[in-house]
Every structure is written in C-alpha cells, then in structure tokens.
C-alpha cells in the first residue's frame, strides 16, 4: 500500500512576463518569474503538512499546481497515480477526492447563490442523478458538521447575511460534502478574528481525525502551523529550504531563514523574550534570482561558497531536510549569541 496521497517531484511553475512592444521588436527574451522552482514534497495519508513562507514565496502557487489548477512542470502523483490531464473521468474523480479551501470567505462564495446552492454545487456536479430531498439532506448534514446548527436555518440564506466566520464554515461545508481525501487549505483563517479562528482550525482537525483527510495547510503564520501540523515545510523564493516535523519550530530548526522566522514570532508570553534575528531588506524579486543560495543576500552567516553554489536539500536528523551549506556553523552561531 502506498502511504503517500500526494507526491510532487521537481514541481515548477514559471510565469512569462510579456515584455514591451519595443523589446519584442528587438528580439529580447521575455522575462520569467520562477514562482515555484523545483519543489519536492510528499504528503502522507492522514497527515497535515504546512507550507509556510512570506508573500511571494510561491506557497499558494504550489498549492494550486498540486490541485491541477495551475499549469506546471514536473511530476505529480495522486494516490500513486501520475496525473492524467487528458483523461476526463480521472480528472472528475480527482476533483472529488481533492479539494481546496480558499483564503477569503468574502470573495469565495457566489453572492447570488443561496447557501444550499453553494454547498451542494460540488455534489451536483459529481452526481447528476440526486433528488432534491437528497441534496437538501446532505447539505444540512454538511452544514451541521461545519458547526452551523441547525442546518435548516441556513440553507435558504444568502452569503451576505452571514459573518466572516460563518462564511468560512459554509466554504468548509462545501468541501466536506464530497468527503475529499486531500484538501489544500490556503490561509483559511487569515481573514478571521483571532477569537474565532480556533474554531475553524479545530473543524479541519476534526475532519482529519474522523475521515483521515490529508491536508496541505498554506499559511504565513508559523505558530499556527506549529500547532496543527505533523510536518512543516518552509518556503523561500519558490523553493523549500527546510522541511521536518512540526517540533523543529520550537526546537532545533537549522536553516538560518527558519531560525530568523522563528525568532521574530510575536509571542504573548512576556517572560520568554528571546533575541530577535531581524533580517534586513526584503525578499528579492523572483525574476532575477540571486546566484548560488537564494537566501545569501539576506543571510546573517553568508560564506563565499553560498554565493556560488546552490545548496540541495539534504537530510540532517530524523525526517529533517535542510538546504544550507553550513547548517552546523549556524548552530554554533546561534549558540554563541
């Protein structure tokens, strides 16, 4: 039996930027944005993997590519089968088994649809022979699972009548109704108040516990990722720089970028203030990638080799992969501080 639900090998998404008319006449090459540039990632069945990175690191694009919502290069496997882009029945089946939760519940629900239409749409697309009463029953069931009880009260309402948290629950109900095995959740709580985001996160966790659903959880919130996931992958400029069990965040993460991210995490605990490694400047543009290690212009511990040669992901410790030439040096560097 295959233990991976999704495997990505050397996944690449490159966007061409059309140059100006004049540069076209001069036969200049179009510039290319390397949004995702060689990602290797496997998600086991029943596992939550978080993909963490700053905006522009390519985490959303990677998630969309994995769900076949984005043109890409590289090999993708779902349940040990290579994606069959030309096979309509395979694609239809894939849609049923793999779903996405979007970031903004204010934009992801069609304002002209009633909640019953929003929630049952995936179901109606997959099975065209359902009767009205079956659709209604399943919608109510899904809404109640998502915490909108009693479901009858909600099915004939419109999205504008609901609050942000309720809308996100509707979006989750619409995903849950087809019982997918794999879900890409793209920043599902970033638009919500801190006081209600725990409910949404718990709901997703419950689905994992009950149905063994696997997740790719895309977020910029490292502490939330640490809280709910089994493994965490840190992305920087289209590449994974470190991946390992969630505990590495609170323990020994090795890549300097991860260490900096962890050190600047805001923390409510007033007794546990640590020294911050605030990186200077901002993420470089993915059009002109720096030579060598992508992180070297901002790395506090850069060495000549880093500007020449790009480090590959290599195993350091149990299940922990790091793309850095000098991970031991960093440990020392932090220890010295």
Chain residues that interact with other proteins, rule: CB under 8 A: 54-55, 163, 165, 193-199, 201-202, 205, 220, 222-224, 226-227, 246, 249-250, 260-262, 264-273, 276, 278-279, 282
The one-character DSSP state at 161 is G
Q: How far is the CB of 55 from other proteins (least distance, A)?
A: 6
CB nearer to other proteins: give 3 or 274: 274
CB nearer to other proteins: give 117 or 206: 206
The one-character DSSP state at 319 is T
CB nearer to other proteins: give 43 or 222: 222
CA atoms within 13 A on the CB side of 213: 27
Q: How far is the CB of 265 from other proteins (least distance, A)?
A: 6
Contacts of 185 (CB under 8 A, 6+ apart): 100, 101, 204, 215, 216, 217, 218
As a whole number of angstroms, the distance between CA 123 and CA 139 comes to 9
CB nearer to other proteins: give 197 or 231: 197
Q: Which two tokens stand for residue 22?
A: 């004049």
Q: Which two tokens stand for residue 246?
A: 């969630």
Q: How far is the CB of 311 from other proteins (least distance, A)?
A: 21
Do 169 and 146 meet the contact criterion of CB atoms below 8 Å apart? yes
CB nearer to other proteins: give 7 or 230: 230
SS3 158: coil
Q: How far is the CB of 181 from other proteins (least distance, A)?
A: 23
Q: Which two tokens stand for residue 242?
A: 């470190």
Q: How far is the CB of 242 from other proteins (least distance, A)?
A: 15
CB nearer to other proteins: give 166 or 213: 166
**Residue with tokens 């020994």, as numbered in its chain:** 252
Q: Is the peptide bond before 150 cis (omega within 30 degrees of 0)?
A: yes
Q: How far is the CB of 226 from other proteins (least distance, A)?
A: 5
CB nearer to other proteins: give 262 or 322: 262
Do 74 and 67 meet the contact criterion of CB atoms below 8 Å apart? no
**Residue with tokens 């300097």, as numbered in its chain:** 256
Do 219 and 52 meet the contact criterion of CB atoms below 8 Å apart? yes
Q: How far is the CB of 109 from other proteins (least distance, A)?
A: 18
């Amino acid at each position: 039996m295959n233990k991976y639900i999704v495997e990505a090998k050397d996944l690449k998404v490159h966007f061409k930027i059309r140059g100006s008319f004049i540069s076209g006449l001069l036969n200049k090459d179009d510039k290319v944005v390397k949004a995702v540039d060689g990602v290797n990632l496997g998600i086991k069945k029943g596992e939550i993997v978080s993909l963490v990175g700053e905006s522009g690191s390519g985490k959303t694009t990677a998630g969309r590519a994995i769900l076949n919502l984005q043109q890409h290069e590289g090999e993708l496997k779902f349940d040990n089968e290579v994606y069959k882009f030309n096979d309509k029945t395979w694609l239809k089946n894939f849609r049923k088994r793999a779903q996405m939760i979007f970031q903004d519940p204010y934009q992801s629900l069609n304002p002209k649809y009633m909640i019953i239409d929003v929630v049952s749409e995936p179901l109606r697309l997959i099975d065209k022979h359902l009767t009205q009463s079956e659709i209604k029953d399943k919608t109510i069931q899904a809404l109640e699972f998502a915490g909108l009880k009693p479901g009858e009260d909600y099915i004939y309402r419109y999205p504008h009548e609901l609050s942000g948290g309720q809308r996100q629950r509707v979006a989750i109900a619409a995903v849950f109704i087809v019982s997918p095995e794999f879900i890409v959740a793209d920043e599902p709580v970033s638009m919500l108040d801190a006081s209600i985001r725990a409910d949404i996160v718990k709901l997703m966790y419950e689905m994992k516990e009950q149905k063994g659903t696997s997740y790719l959880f895309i977020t910029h919130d490292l502490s939330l990722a640490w809280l709910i996931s089994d493994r965490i992958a840190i992305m920087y400029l289209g590449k994974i720089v470190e991946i390992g069990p969630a505990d590495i965040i609170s323990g020994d993460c090795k890549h300097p970028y991860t260490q900096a991210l962890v050190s600047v995490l805001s923390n409510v605990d007033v007794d546990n203030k640590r020294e911050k490694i605030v990186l200077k400047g901002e993420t470089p543009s993915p059009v002109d990638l720096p030579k060598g290690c992508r992180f070297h212009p901002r790395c506090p511990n850069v060495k000549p080799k880093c500007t020449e040669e790009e480090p590959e992901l290599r195993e350091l410790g149990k299940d922990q992969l790091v793309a850095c030439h000098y991970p031991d040096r960093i440990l020392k560097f932090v220890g010295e501080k």
